[in-house]
Structure 1
Amino acid sequence: MGQTVKGTTRVCGLFGYPVHHTVSPAIHNTLADRLSCDLVYVPFEVEPEHLKEAFYGALSMDVLGLNVTIPHKSAVIPFLKEIDPMAKRIGAVNTLVRTADNSGFKGYNTDYFGIKKSFEEASCSLKDESVIILGAGGAARPAAFLCADEGAKEVFILNRTLKRAQELSDSVNDFAGKKLCSAMKLSDYKELDASKKYICFQATSVGLYPKSDEVIIDDENFYKLIHTGFDAIFKPYRTRFISMCEKQGAKCISGIRMLLHQGICAYELWNNVIVSEEDIRIVYGRMLRELLDDENIVLVGFMGSGKSAVSLEIADFLGYDRIDSDEAIEQKEDRTISDIFSTDGEEAFRQMETDFLKELIADKRKKTVLACGGGLPIREENRKLLKEFGRVIFLKAEPETVYDRVKDDTSRPLLQTGDVLGRIKKLQDDRRDIYDKACDFGIDTDKKIARAIAEEIVHLLL
């Protein structure tokens, strides 16, 4: 699979400054590949003083569509031929679509849809809620109008410049026909009613990679007010704002879900298509892969813990290569594990595992998920090699779960006994500390489907 640029290929792209942190190409190029669309998406770093030239350059070069991000979401509006009523009300656009006569661009705000969809997925309602919005531009504008549309009880817009907060507050209040929003200086956050719990939108660029250690309000007492925190930033996935919310027990929504859904909406507008839920899931996985920087993932655990099934799901979700150590050794030796055990003995097989890991590391493989045989981490040398290869996750399962999964499998030499369950319990007791030493973290797999386990692992790695 992969895109081929031809004479007929259309171009879409992103205007912003800076834009090198973007993962938007993962959205649109993955969709173009999966939907066999003759389209390529690229970022364009456009400094504010060159926005007008860039806009008309894109128009004259027949660029199909554009995304627009900070700091151009409002600045680009004067150049548009048309603007969607929602975007006009918000006062900012992030998606530009060719007009019907192809003579200009029409502006849309798909950030609004991205935020709305993110809250729906999290089963979080804005109705009758008290809301804090940190910031007054960018994502703050669609967030504020969404609060009005969804029936929030009150909204406090906090910004470093009170004037901008007041302008946004007045716009939303005019639309709502009542005083819904109140403007405050960011430094006055301590004046918020501490007896209430709030939904909080972090809608500034503070904390964006590479300045990931920054946070807009660095006061633990502020985060005690929050029951649900939303951060428009997606890189890093777990911002300091999100971490401080989580520390106080708040539910959190990452900005990557907003980015995903605003991008899906933009792609549908450009290409007049409907993207399926399965394609949305795959696109999301490709976005997470970018945040993981193609880091290798290693699954360890007792036989029957789900390593094979989960590794297949991770590979599909992220677009990774998948390797099963037992399968790879069997292929190389051209015989089964049982044959190796019976002919050469267990120690010889363990050496084969060590040699296999050394070869993987020497090949400098990336974007690979490795499912390890149950006994591979027994050797201390192997445990060191696994951590050198990638992040190691211990899949845990109760003995009864393992028994149900492997009781009829005659290919496992260590289970050839009359008391299979007893043997499983003994081996798990012997190996539990070994797996704990081998891994970066562990997760339970009991009563979970492989797809859910795979997605849980990826999120924990970010």
Structure 2
Amino acid sequence: MINYTDGNTLVCGLIGNPVRHTMSPMIHNTLADMTDINLVYVPFEVAPDGVKNAVRGAYDLGIRGLNVTVPYKSDVIPYLKYTDPLAEAVGAVNTLVRDEALGGFRGYNTDMTGLYRAMQEEGIELEGETVVILGAGGVARPTAHLCVNKGARKVYILNRTLEKAEEIADEIDSDTVVAMDINRYREILETEEHFFAIQCTSVGLFPDVNSAVIEDEEFYRHVHAALDVVYKPLETKFLKLAAAAGAKTFSGLKMLLYQGIDAYEFWNADRDVKISKDQADRIYRSLILEVTGSRNIILEGFMGSGKTTVSQLLSDKLDLDLMDTDEAIETTEGRSISDIFAEDGEEAFRKMETELLETIVKDHWRDMVISLGGGLPLREENRSLLKEAGKVIYLKASPETVYERIKGDTTRPLLQCEDPLSKIKELQAARSDLYDAAADLVIDTDGKSPEEITQDILNGLGI
């Protein structure tokens, strides 16, 4: 069980301001569960004048390790017993590791190592590469250092304020690095046929989703790979422009993931903990769902709309747990839906559906594909609960399509009548607006295979 605590629980955490919306606890508490280590990770919001006391107090409290986020990545350095040369070079630390021998914390920068692991995951090798960095802020500095340290042939730093780009170039002090005003980007296109572009500004961050720091299509025709450190939304306009030009693209979400994994491995080096790619991929899928607001992917629709088949495909593709609400109720009750209807009536069954949804929301069930019974979204209270439970996908099908899919199925209590097609039309007319009201995304399933419907859902969610 994640976050079980006792007198032997190790504590790690995050200091910064603000920290309330951080996804780091999800990463680290899941890692603790995966590796069976009695460890919990919590965020600590530290006031601007409290950094010194926070670092020293954390050591005195026995805290195993800390991550550091804005605005304190440089402020913590004077209070450390040791700073890794790489972190010292960029003037930023984001990971503190307890050292009993030194009587304090050692500082590292796993933003850099995490970024490099994310690049390698995508098949990007920096040695001999030409890199164009957009921006000269807090992320651009370690990115430029990383590119030079890993053997990039040329690193261009483009920024609206040239002086900031020049500061990074002077700091690195290498002929490899060129600082430029971002308005001169066309000069790069005249000399560089292809390059790896890294977007390090906040342009494109939600809610400013329709902007990119450079929007000239000619620029993107020279980009063979693109990374945006912004990960909300997952597909920024910068990445869309790069992808449209044929570039390989990936978001900064993997950087967030791997900086966390590197920190976790530091904190548990005495156990020789190494996180596998499979474990990393599982956490990455959870992060994607969190960023897209899809804690669970929930399929609604009329009977025969394909919910059962598509939910299984989604579950397999995303490696998520699968729940069918009808099956869950049958298991709990120890009898079939038909028997519940016959013995207790429809209203009793609808109450069971509501109670199941309340449990999902109250107990924070997540990382599931949930296939809903056809009548579940009809209750207003259920529709409100569904909004809290995850992203609701309405699989829409015409009455004729539904009839062809389920004719002859004797397990549908509402269709045991002389004219099932007319009954389907009647029920759909009554339910369609309510399905629409509950849905975050509507997918037309007529004439589509289950695989095509599944891909439409993934595209619609940005996964």
Q: Deviations over 1:62-84 (max 9, x none)?
A: 32211122233334333332222
**Distance change >3 Å, CA 137–CA 32, structure 1 → 2:** same
Q: Deviations over 1:46-66 (max 9, x none)?
A: 355543333333333332211
In the TM superposition, residue 23 of structure 1 has moved relative to its aligned partner by 0.6
Tell me the TM-score normalised to structure 2 length: 0.71
Distance 2:462 2:98 in 1: 39
Distance 2:19 2:306 in 1: 45
Distance 2:205 2:50 in 1: 23
Partner of 1:416: none
Question: What residue identity is the alignment partner of 1:74?
Answer: S
Question: What residue identity is the alignment partner of 2:226?
Answer: G
Distance 2:217 2:315 in 1: 44
Query: What are the ranges of 5 or more consecutive residues in structure 2 without an aligned counterpart?
Result: 397-405, 414-423
**Distance change >3 Å, CA 32–CA 442, structure 1 → 2:** same
Partner of 2:196: 199
Which deviates further from its counterpart, 107-116 or 44-53? 44-53
Question: What residue identity is the alignment partner of 1:185?
Answer: D
In the TM superposition, residue 330 of structure 1 has moved relative to its aligned partner by 3.7
Partner of 1:183: 179
Distance 2:265 2:332 in 1: 46
- Residue 365 of structure 1 aligns to a residue whose secondary structure is helix
User: 2:235 matched to 1:234?
Assistant: no
Distance 1:252 1:191 in 2: 23
- The answer as to whether partners of 1:329 and 1:352 remain within 8 angstroms in 2 is no
Query: What are the ranges of 5 or more consecutive residues in structure 1 without an aligned counterpart?
Result: 397-405, 414-426
Q: What are the residue-to-residue correspondences of 1:220-259 with 2, within 5 Å?
A: 220-221=216-217, 224-225=220-221, 226-246=223-243, 248-259=245-256
In the TM superposition, residue 153 of structure 1 has moved relative to its aligned partner by 3.2
Which deviates further from its counterpart, 231-240 or 15-24? 231-240
Partner of 1:54: 54
In the TM superposition, residue 259 of structure 1 has moved relative to its aligned partner by 0.8
Distance 1:363 1:58 in 2: 36
In the TM superposition, residue 446 of structure 1 has moved relative to its aligned partner by 7.3
Partner of 1:168: 168
Which deviates further from its counterpart, 262-271 or 275-284? 275-284
Tell me the TM-score normalised to structure 1 length: 0.71
Partner of 1:403: none
User: 2:205 matched to 1:217?
Assistant: no
**Distance change >3 Å, CA 353–CA 229, structure 1 → 2:** farther
Q: What are the residue-to-residue correspondences of 1:435-446 with 2, within 5 Å?
A: 440=441, 442=443
Q: Which of residues 354, 361, 386 is equivalent to 1:365? A: 361
Q: Deviations over 1:1-23 (max 9, x none)?
A: 23233344332222223322311
Distance 2:354 2:136 in 1: 53
Question: What residue identity is the alignment partner of 2:259?
Answer: Q
- The answer as to whether partners of 1:212 and 1:239 remain within 8 angstroms in 2 is no
User: 2:120 matched to 1:123?
Assistant: no
**Distance change >3 Å, CA 46–CA 249, structure 1 → 2:** farther
In the TM superposition, residue 270 of structure 1 has moved relative to its aligned partner by 0.7
In the TM superposition, residue 156 of structure 1 has moved relative to its aligned partner by 0.9
Partner of 2:262: 265
User: 2:73 matched to 1:43?
Assistant: no
**Distance change >3 Å, CA 251–CA 37, structure 1 → 2:** same
Superposition RMSD on alpha carbons, in Å?
Answer: 5.0
Q: What are the residue-to-residue correspondences of 1:60-75 with 2, within 5 Å?
A: 60-75=60-75
Distance 1:326 1:56 in 2: 54
- The answer as to whether partners of 1:223 and 1:248 remain within 8 angstroms in 2 is no
**Distance change >3 Å, CA 88–CA 193, structure 1 → 2:** same
Distance 2:119 2:86 in 1: 19
- The answer as to whether partners of 1:189 and 1:222 remain within 8 angstroms in 2 is no
Distance 1:31 1:332 in 2: 31
Question: What residue identity is the alignment partner of 2:267?
Answer: W
In the TM superposition, residue 324 of structure 1 has moved relative to its aligned partner by 0.9
- The answer as to whether partners of 1:134 and 1:157 remain within 8 angstroms in 2 is yes
Partner of 1:309: 312
Distance 1:339 1:63 in 2: 55
Distance 2:332 2:54 in 1: 55
Distance 2:204 2:71 in 1: 16
In the TM superposition, residue 294 of structure 1 has moved relative to its aligned partner by 6.1
Distance 2:262 2:358 in 1: 43
- The answer as to whether partners of 1:297 and 1:392 remain within 8 angstroms in 2 is yes
**Distance change >3 Å, CA 35–CA 287, structure 1 → 2:** same
User: 2:456 matched to 1:460?
Assistant: no
- The answer as to whether partners of 1:21 and 1:235 remain within 8 angstroms in 2 is no
Distance 2:238 2:18 in 1: 21
- Residue 53 of structure 2 aligns to a residue whose secondary structure is helix
- The answer as to whether partners of 1:300 and 1:371 remain within 8 angstroms in 2 is yes
- The answer as to whether partners of 1:65 and 1:98 remain within 8 angstroms in 2 is yes
- The answer as to whether partners of 1:212 and 1:240 remain within 8 angstroms in 2 is no
Partner of 1:94: 94
Partner of 1:106: 106
Partner of 1:135: 135
In the TM superposition, residue 265 of structure 1 has moved relative to its aligned partner by 0.9
Distance 2:461 2:32 in 1: 28
Report how many residues are paired.
Answer: 429
Distance 1:446 1:125 in 2: 39
Partner of 2:282: 282
Q: Identity percentage over the alignment?
A: 40
Which deviates further from its counterpart, 108-117 or 271-280? 271-280
